[in-house]
Every structure is written in structure tokens, then in C-alpha cells.
Amino acid sequence: MLLGPERRLVVRYAKRLRPDGLVVLTAGNLSVRSGDLVAITPGSFDYDELTPERICVIGLDGSVAEAPLAPSSEVPMHLGVYDAVPEACAVVHTHAPFASALSTVVDELPALHYLIAELGGPVRVAPYATFGSNELAENVARALEGRTAALLGNHGTIAFGETLEQAYSRTLLLEWLSALYLRSSLLGAPRLLAGEEIELVARKLSRKGAPAGSSPPSGSAPRARAPGRARPRARAAAPRRRESPR
């Protein structure tokens, strides 16, 4: 079985998505890259029934290496991140409720808490495009320039990391920050932190070492390459379960 350890890791974190309140039903997807191969969740498959053998393995060009089910419909978005950010080794995409709600009303999650420095600074909202499309993949790549996470307009979240643990932790942080912003906005206009303060926090985190699983400080956030044409989706046999938007 190709990428056995990576497939087991994908299953472990995929099974956390619903208990952690980051998705409903079969929404969301995650992947881990190892060399020129990527282990990614299948499309529209119940997480409770997921096993390492059911995880798909594709190439960075979208070709199928080993896939008993059809890979996630968001293959272009995952491959777009790996193409734009060579340091990325894991990607997590969710429909986290607070972050998804926020993505419908703002163009950017501002710096209302110093921990946003762990995501590289204020979090951009990638313009809406149909799920699974090359347009969405390109919008996401642009939103991630100098950042490690982004909101997807009228859709959800995306975060990457050098490990799946790190990408998942950034997703949880993004959801927490989104909830904080929405709640504080009910009380009035949140006081925002200046860019200089976020840079100072980033330097302090860099000196002391960021918490395990956290993203790098804003001054050292990986820089995404300008997006080109997204890689084509992998072709595989139709999934054995009912398709639903991812």
C-alpha cells in the first residue's frame, strides 16, 4: 500500500473533523504530501467508515497512483497549495461554522488578537468560486500569499502546514479567531492591533519558539508563488457513495 503511514495519519485527523465541529456530513477534506505523492480523503465518504485502504493517493500532477474511490472534488485546491507553497506538506479544508459565517460578510479577518500572528497576520477571504474548480484553486493560492491560512468566501477554511498536526492546529485557531471576532462584534466595534504589534509578537514567538502545532510567525510565513493554471483533477472511478458538495 502506497504511503501507508500518511494514509493512517489522514484517517486519524479526518475522524476528528466532525467531533471538533469543523464539518457536517461528509464535507471537508485533508491531505498529506510525501515527495511527489499526496494522500487525500475520498469524495463524499462517511468519515466513520474511513480506513487507510480507502484513502486515495495521487501525484502532484493529479494522476491517480492508488485510489479505490474517487478523490475529493477539491483536488485542484490541494494541489494548488502544494504548487504555490513548496514548504507545505499537509492541507486541511473545512466548513467550520464561525469561519464560514464570517466568510460571507467580510473581506478579511482583522488582527483583533495577537495569536493571529501565528497565521501570518490578518486572514484574507478568497473570492467565491465553485467548489472543485481551477478558479477556486487560483483564488486560494492568492489569498495564501504570506499566510498559512485563509477563509474561502461563502464556503469555509483552508490551512496548510509542514505537518498535518500543524495544519489542523491552524484550522482550529482560525475557527477560534473567527468566533472571537463575531462575538466581539455583537458588543461593538472590536479594537484592532496595529501591524507593528503583530510583527513584534511574531518576533517574540520566533525567539521563544511557537507552541507545538502552531504556524510560523508572520515574518517567516512561507511565501506563495503567484498562481498559474491549477493542476487538473485526478481521474478515478466514480465514488461508491452519493456525491455531495465538498
The grid cell for 61 is: 500532477
- Asked whether residue 145 is assigned to any structural domain, the reply reads yes
| Residue range 107-138, pLDDT digits in tens | 999 999 999 999 999 999 999 999 999 999 99
Strand boundaries in the chain, DSSP class E = 29-34, 37-40, 56-59, 64-66, 90-94, 108-109, 123-126, 149-152, 156-161
Domain residues for the domain of 101 are 4-220
Helix 4-14 and helix 164-187, axial crossing angle in degrees, nearest 10: 20
Which one from 49, 53, 74, 108 is the annotated catalytic residue? Answer: 74
As for how many domains the chain has, the answer is 1
Arithmetic mean of pLDDT, 167-174: 98
Whose grid coordinates read 513548496? Answer: 86
pTM score, two decimals?
Answer: 0.85
- Asked whether residue 179 is assigned to any structural domain, the reply reads yes
- Please tell me whether residue 241 adopts helix, strand or coil conformation: coil
Does the structure show a pLDDT above 60 at 217?
no
Does the structure show a pLDDT above 60 at 179?
yes
Q: CATH number for the domain including 111?
A: 3.40.225.10
Active-site annotation holds for 87: no
| Residue range 32-74, pLDDT digits in tens | 999 999 999 999 999 999 999 999 999 999 999 999 999 999 9
Secondary structure letter of residue 68 according to DSSP? S
Does the structure show a pLDDT above 60 at 160?
yes
Whole-number pLDDT of residue 167: 98
- Asked whether residue 174 is assigned to any structural domain, the reply reads yes
- Please tell me whether residue 95 adopts helix, strand or coil conformation: coil
Q: What length is written for the chain?
A: 246
